[in-house]
Structure 1
């Protein structure tokens, strides 16, 4: 008769019981806070861009060659994988992955907080993060785009560094970097933790290897020169304040105020704690401070940039609440919950006129073309390709890549000479080799309208004629003599 197995330590039993109770609650909260994301076919042009990229990759496209964007490769690959499993006609598979990404972020933050400040802090950090995670314009907070999938990677990097798992911390930081460039900011607090914990030389080497090897691998799997150009060196004109100063400042102020409202339950305890005592969370302050450039980068101040601030804010608020009276915790949670309800209502009830326009335009495109026809949509709404199920005639899915227009940038910084370097020769070749059956001018008076872009104006004048209009967007079909090309 074999000896009886020893009972697991009491700490193991307590840990298992803790997570058995907390995980279902966080999962339910993650699902509730993402309900609006399933209420629309898509939320913003980034989702449309990624959906079109995924279809192009599935049909043999090569990232950074025939499928291009200024972003790293992980999210396009994620969309491609989701479409392979669930079909490309809906973003539901990607939306489910976004729920899981938010849940994973909350769990990692809860684990970090519990390790430092106890069981209650773990529940507080996970819950506060999910409640505040929807605290932006719904098109920024509910979209399944880069920041949502970057945040669990940054949280994982901090989680691993807190446990002195340096190689894993580097790999998680690399995943954040390969999701969006600004994800690499998490290396600042990770390096601080390595210094504070006195990481041995071997640990530092593992950290460096964990960061560099995945990035080098991604470059080699795609196109090394194209990878470097599109993700690092080719966006100089985009990262400029000139030409959109007032618009950018208004957007910065607006999104800052919106996030401040969402964080109404977090900010007071942090401010009060700073007046009373130090929280002893230097790495968390570094995490927040290093995430700030993500908001500043490019001087566009898009709302989804602000998402990177929320995990360190949630942890800092949790740290502050540990030294404040119990009623402060209750007030913080209730305030955050009320704000969350307001943002969920906004997401469910607010009209989305640009989506309606894209749907009407896509319907017209589908009506005037065959499924095998190539189409050029000259605008900043690539979702028209996805909604109409038509193949783009160019690898440049928005006019922004060919004119530097983005997010309201106007004036002297928009035009052919401000395009991403080398794009116009390639674009002209594409228009000759795979001439689109239909060109859609969706500029609607924006600074990149054909009358201000000679290359496109000449193309339309020589080979196309207007055949219709949808909400101000003009449709051009190839003239009869060109149909044999």
Structure 2
């Protein structure tokens, strides 16, 4: 007993020294990798319409707007609030502040994965998991991988949920699941492996209650902070038409296969070890497989297959590869890291050198809008590029920042389920009320003869015919100014 008492404190001290030594070496490496892999994100002023949507939302909220009332989206509020906070501190004229936060988010995810792997398989596995994750984290089209959007800020929350569950901190695990959900609904899929860990550990019923309360309280609190009915509608019940495979099936399937192939290239160093180990031994770690499977189900949910959806798969893949590499010879680890580094270099070059014709189009339109309107004027951009509002620094005339919410064109639908009757429930009465109360000074028809063009949308066609005249064309987009009379 005396020996145990004497040795126990020394073991704890040695453990703390070992922890400090590991992180003193690992953290600078992971931080450097996070900065390098995210470097392309700072090259472009804006990467995709989601960033534009969030930037416009943040400005509206900063001016006293209310989420799910003054401005609406099919997403929970965590990321719009994050943008609003970053803009409040650093200004809204640039996305640099949220790009820095995205670097921090990716670094946090890598650190949590490294900690998970180190606890299970040792120091080398910890470094391996963090490095492999960061090398694969940009393995998609740069518009998806480099943008500071929902999935990037969701990932550290999902990793934190697994980290807490692995340490049987069930209340904290539930809170992390809630944060993942509040960043993006599909983040809640991590609850599946968390519950499995709870079951595997044989935790008592009180721990299940802690997990449930930890998950429920943040979500309920956010619902009360916004509008409970609006929160429920926009995040859960109001997306039936959006989450449908009907319409443009071949187009959507092609997108899914393309993005799957791109991610497979990025994970060329991770997938072979997992496949190799599956052939020769059981890897165990059922919760990692459940994490991967639930993430895959989240990617499939809604049948849109956008590239940024696939980011959710990378953390469990990185951990599964790390687990497999513990069984295989050391040369396999070297091969996996070198292959991942080469693939990462390829995607870095893509991000740094790829042209952005959509951004150029949006910038030209924004310049035209700014030239033809005054700062206090309201503008309606009828299209799928809400970033035009942000680039032009003009106030949207409607809470609906894209035509997708009013026509169901969202997600690349270009088939039969596009039109006024497929809009979000209650959207057109609200839109007509907005146009009547505050008619836009300028309307930009950026539809380019797509299925939501004005000639196919009676309400918009009547709006233009009832007091607007064509005043110009920019890159195929038609500008209409309100007639003076």
TM class by smaller structure: over 0.9
Q: Confirm whether residue 176 of structure 1 aligns to residue 172 of structure 2.
A: no
Q: Confirm whether residue 428 of structure 1 aligns to residue 445 of structure 2.
A: no
User: Given the alignment, which residue of 448, 457, 463 partners 1:453?
Assistant: 457
Match of 1:83 in 2: 87
User: Given the alignment, which residue of 221, 232, 238 partners 1:228?
Assistant: 232
User: Given the alignment, which residue of 207, 211, 215 partners 1:211?
Assistant: 215
Q: Confirm whether residue 20 of structure 1 aligns to residue 24 of structure 2.
A: yes
| Contact 1:402 1:416 (C-alpha < 8 Å) held by counterparts | yes
TM-score, reference length from structure 1: 0.97
TM-score, reference length from structure 2: 0.97
Match of 2:114 in 1: 110
Match of 1:193 in 2: 197
Distance 2:276 2:403 in 1: 48
Distance 1:99 1:212 in 2: 28
Match of 2:54 in 1: 50
Distance 1:168 1:282 in 2: 21
Q: Which moved more, 1:202-211 or 1:97-106?
A: 202-211
Q: Confirm whether residue 142 of structure 1 aligns to residue 142 of structure 2.
A: no
| Contact 2:175 2:218 (C-alpha < 8 Å) held by counterparts | yes
Match of 2:373 in 1: 369
SS of aligned partner of 2:480: strand
Report runs of 4+ in structure 1 exceeding 2 Å deviation: 5-8
Match of 1:402 in 2: 406
SS of aligned partner of 1:42: coil
Distance 1:445 1:110 in 2: 50
SS of aligned partner of 1:475: strand
Residue 49 of structure 1 deviates from its aligned partner by: 0.2
Distance 1:469 1:39 in 2: 29
Pairing 1:289-308 to 2, within 5 Å after superposition: 289-308=293-312
| Contact 1:135 1:141 (C-alpha < 8 Å) held by counterparts | yes
Going from structure 1 to structure 2, the CA distance change for 1:375 and 1:304 (only over 3 Å counts) comes to same
User: Given the alignment, which residue of 462, 471, 474 partners 1:470?
Assistant: 474
User: Given the alignment, which residue of 375, 378, 390 partners 1:386?
Assistant: 390
Residue 10 of structure 1 deviates from its aligned partner by: 1.1
SS of aligned partner of 2:481: strand
Match of 2:160 in 1: 156
Match of 2:3 in 1: none
SS of aligned partner of 2:410: coil
Residue 294 of structure 1 deviates from its aligned partner by: 1.8
Q: Confirm whether residue 96 of structure 1 aligns to residue 100 of structure 2.
A: yes
Residue 407 of structure 1 deviates from its aligned partner by: 3.1
SS of aligned partner of 1:468: strand
Distance 1:101 1:58 in 2: 23
Match of 2:288 in 1: 284
Distance 1:444 1:407 in 2: 17
| Two-structure CA RMSD over aligned residues (Å) | 1.0
Residue 293 of structure 1 deviates from its aligned partner by: 1.8
Consecutive unaligned residues in structure 2, runs of 5 or more:
1-8
Residue 474 of structure 1 deviates from its aligned partner by: 0.4
Pairing 1:2-41 to 2, within 5 Å after superposition: 9-41=13-45
SS of aligned partner of 2:187: helix
CA-to-partner distance for each residue in 1:340-396, whole Å, 9 max, x for gaps? 000000000010100000000000000000000000000000000000000000000
Match of 2:332 in 1: 328
Residue 411 of structure 1 deviates from its aligned partner by: 2.0
Q: Confirm whether residue 312 of structure 1 aligns to residue 323 of structure 2.
A: no
Distance 2:412 2:22 in 1: 48
Consecutive unaligned residues in structure 1, runs of 5 or more:
none
CA-to-partner distance for each residue in 1:92-124, whole Å, 9 max, x for gaps? 000000000000000000000000000000000
| Contact 2:382 2:444 (C-alpha < 8 Å) held by counterparts | yes
CA-to-partner distance for each residue in 1:121-149, whole Å, 9 max, x for gaps? 00000000000000000000000000000
Distance 2:383 2:225 in 1: 30
CA-to-partner distance for each residue in 1:239-285, whole Å, 9 max, x for gaps? 11111101001100100000000000001000000011111110000
Distance 1:399 1:109 in 2: 39
